[in-house]
Structures are given as structure tokens and as C-alpha cells.
Structure 1
Amino acid sequence: MKNTTVEYSAMSRGFYLNINVHDDKLSIVDKRDGTPREYILTNADWKALADLYKTIKPEELPTYKDPTQKRFYDGAAIASLRIIYDGKTYETTSFDHGFPPKEIEAFVNKIVSFATP
């Protein structure tokens, strides 16, 4: 994951979350126009995230199917995952926050866990 930026975002009318991971640095914004909280990931968290990242094929992100469509009726926030690597950007189609495509579920859940107190 060195030299890779991972961005996870989820938003609805009453919810906002943006998590940015670059190298071992983590930035979390949980309010619109909020100030980012920045952290350095522990070695254990960095290794766990990097191991999950190895299972992802960035070029396939746009092809992953969303398992639920709760966001269509305000049942879930609209989420997406973006990976920027080697000058290229790879992004999922939108999916429900809390219900990522199965191919990236463990990776997304690990990223979101950093924002949970």
C-alpha cells in the first residue's frame, strides 16, 4: 500500500464520513466542512490493512455489485471506495454504507473501524 491513497466516503442528508489513508497516515472527517482528525496507524493496524489490500484488484472495483439498495430510499448512506495508485484512479460504483460489495467487504469494514470510537 505504499504510495497508494485510499478514500472511503459515505454521506446522506444527516450523515457524513470521509476516511483517507495514505501510507501509514489516516485522516477522518465526520462532519460536513469538518476539520480532519489525523492519526498515524499502528504497525499492527497498518499490516492488517495492507494484508486486506492485497486481496483487492483495483481495476475490478467498478464491476463489483452492491448487495443492497437501501440508499435509494434513505435506508443507508451512499458510500464509495476510491483507490489512487501509480497515477490512476479506481473507484467503485455507489453502494450502501455498512453493506459493501463482498469482494471488498473486509477491507472497507477495516477502514470504517478506524472511525468508530
Structure 2
Amino acid sequence: MTSTKIEYSAHSRGYHKSIVVENKSVSVTNGRDAAPVKSNIDDAKWNKIVDAFSKVNLESLSTLKAPTDKRTYDGAAIGNLKIIQNQKTYETPGFDNGFPPKEIEKLVNLLVDFAKE
């Protein structure tokens, strides 16, 4: 995971959140003009992220189907997961923030937890 960067973002007209995990550190941005808040990730949480990440099929990210469609009528912010590994980018189509596809649910929920802390 030393050459891996994981980015989760959620946005709508009045909402913006960005969470970036890289090299045992996390950067959380709440708001379009807000400064990112950086912190280190403890070993226990890092191991959970590594475990969840190991179960993600990077090649299939672009074909994942969103389980809900609330984002289509402003019922939810649009969520997106992007993974950059070895200078290659893998990205999901948009999905409802809070309702990620099952294949990435555990990883996304671990990332979103950082924004709650």
C-alpha cells in the first residue's frame, strides 16, 4: 500500500467532503473552500483499511452499480471512490453518499469514519 492513494469524495450543490488516505495518514476536507485536516492513522485502523482494500477488485471498480438512486433527484450527495496505484487510476461511477456498492462498502465506511472523528 506504499504506492497507493485512496480518495473518497461526496458532493452536491451545498455539500462537499473529501477524504484522502495515503501512507498511514488521512486528510479530511469539509467544504469547498475549507483547508484539509491531516492526521496519522493508528496501526489498528490501518490494518482494517489494508484488509478491506485487499478485497477490492480494482479492475471492476468502473463497472460497479449503485444500489440506490437518490442522487438523481438531490436526495443524496454523489459519492465517488478513486484509487491510484502504481500511477494507474481506478474510479467508480457516482453512487449515493452513505449507500456505496456492496463490493466497496467496508472500505468506504472505514474512510467515512475519519470524517466523523
Give TM-score scaled by structure 1 length: 0.97
Q: Deviations over 1:21-63 (max 9, x none)?
A: 0110100001111100000000111011101101001111001
Q: Which stretches in structure 2 are left out of the alignment for 5+ residues?
A: none
Q: Deviations over 1:55-82 (max 9, x none)?
A: 0011110011000010011100001000
Q: Deviations over 1:59-107 (max 9, x none)?
A: 1100110000100111000010000001100000000000000100011
- Name the amino acid aligned to 1:110: L
Structure 1 outlier segments of 4+, above 6 Å = none
Give TM-score scaled by structure 2 length: 0.97
Distance in 1, matches of 2:82 and 2:22, equals 12
How large is the RMSD of aligned CA atoms in angstroms? 0.7
Query: Identity of counterpart residues, as a percentage?
Result: 47
Number of corresponding residues: 117
Tell me the equivalent position of 1:90.
90
- Name the amino acid aligned to 1:5: K
Tell me the equivalent position of 1:106.
106
Mapping of residues 14-93 of structure 1, within 5 Å: 14-93=14-93
Tell me the equivalent position of 2:8.
8
- Which protein has the bigger helix share? 2
Q: Which stretches in structure 1 are left out of the alignment for 5+ residues?
A: none
- Name the amino acid aligned to 1:50: V
